[in-house]
Chain A
Amino acid sequence: GENVEQHPSTLSVQEGDSAVIKCTYSDSASNYFPWYKQELGKGPQLIIDIRSNVGEKKDQRIAVTLNKTAKHFSLHITETQPEDSAVYFCAASNSHTGNQFYFGTGTSLTVIP
């Protein structure tokens, strides 16, 4: 099965700085890579996703890059704000075998005002 690794497990940045979270996956058949944000006491919510036919995707301050050859993908948050503080999860899925999301181990991001 798929194995998704995520680093770092904790990350602290000053408000306004950038944050980068990296994930690697093992199954070359995986072709969908969502990123979820989980705030305290809530369920994970999708913030951005990328499919394997795309190398980069951006949505305002958030961007995701995908390197299929190296089997890794990254989340980039620019101009961080205190409300970005949360746990972030990457995931990988294979659309050809239906939905089974394999999650990374999570990154606890703290943005210091």
Chain B
Amino acid sequence: DTAVSQTPKYLVTQMGNDKSIKCEQNLGHDTMYWYKQDSKKFLKIMFSYNNKELIINETVPNRFSPKSPDKAHLNLHINSLELGDSAVYFCASSPYRGDTEAFFGQGTRLTVV
């Protein structure tokens, strides 16, 4: 029944590794997002996809690569992880309209050691 689900919930990995976070939504939404929340709780958009097409790519290192195999999934792959990548990453989805809410997943806490 979970509307937006992301896995894993926790991820601890060493510097230099490559990791992926998966996200799926069952709401039939056209738009999906990745947000990064740092230790100060700031929520910053990283990417936005509409019907599998990238529509927003904020200033994010190219080590981060989103992939949307279909409009219900938006995965985030991170290469060569750095200490500064440690954060909570949230997936979200919404209809492609700017006047309706976005639904968030539970978050993935990434810790790079």
> Interface on A for B, CB 8 Å cutoff?
31-32, 34, 36, 38, 41-46, 49, 51, 87, 89, 93-103, 105-106, 108
Interface size class of B (residues with CB under 8 A): 20 to 34
CB-CB < 8 A to A38: which residues of B?
41
CB-CB < 8 A to A96: which residues of B?
98
- Cβ-based interface call for B86 (8 A): no
Do the beta carbons of A31 and B98 come within 8 Å of each other? yes
Q: Which residue of A lies closest to B31 (CB)?
A: A99
A-B contacts, CB under 8 A, total:
73
- Cβ-based interface call for B1 (8 A): no
CB-CB < 8 A to A44: which residues of B?
43, 90, 104
- Between A and B, 11 residue pairs with Cβ closer than 8 Å are A32-B100, A51-B99, A95-B97, A95-B99, A97-B98, A99-B102, A100-B45, A101-B102, A103-B43, A105-B41, A106-B41
CB-CB < 8 A to B105: which residues of A?
43
Do the beta carbons of A98 and B45 come within 8 Å of each other? no
Do the beta carbons of A43 and B104 come within 8 Å of each other? yes
Residue of A32, A49, A99, A100 with most partner-chain B CB within 10 A:
A99
CB-CB < 8 A to A87: which residues of B?
41
- Cβ-based interface call for B12 (8 A): no
Do the beta carbons of A98 and B106 come within 8 Å of each other? no
In Å, the complex CA distance between A106 and B40 comes to: 9
Cross-chain contact of A99 among B40, B41, B48 (Cβ < 8 A): B48
CB-CB < 8 A to A97: which residues of B?
98
- Cβ-based interface call for B68 (8 A): no
In the A-B complex, list the 9 residue pairs whose CB atoms are closest, starting with the nearest: A95-B98, A43-B104, A95-B99, A32-B99, A103-B43, A46-B101, A93-B98, A106-B41, A44-B104
In Å, the complex CA distance between A113 and B56 comes to: 43
Q: Could you tell me the distance in whole angstroms from the C-beta of B83 to the nearest C-beta in chain A?
A: 22
Cross-chain contact of A34 among B55, B90, B95, B101 (Cβ < 8 A): B101
In Å, the complex CA distance between A72 and B54 comes to: 31
Q: Could you tell me the distance in whole angstroms from the C-beta of A29 to the nearest C-beta in chain B?
A: 10
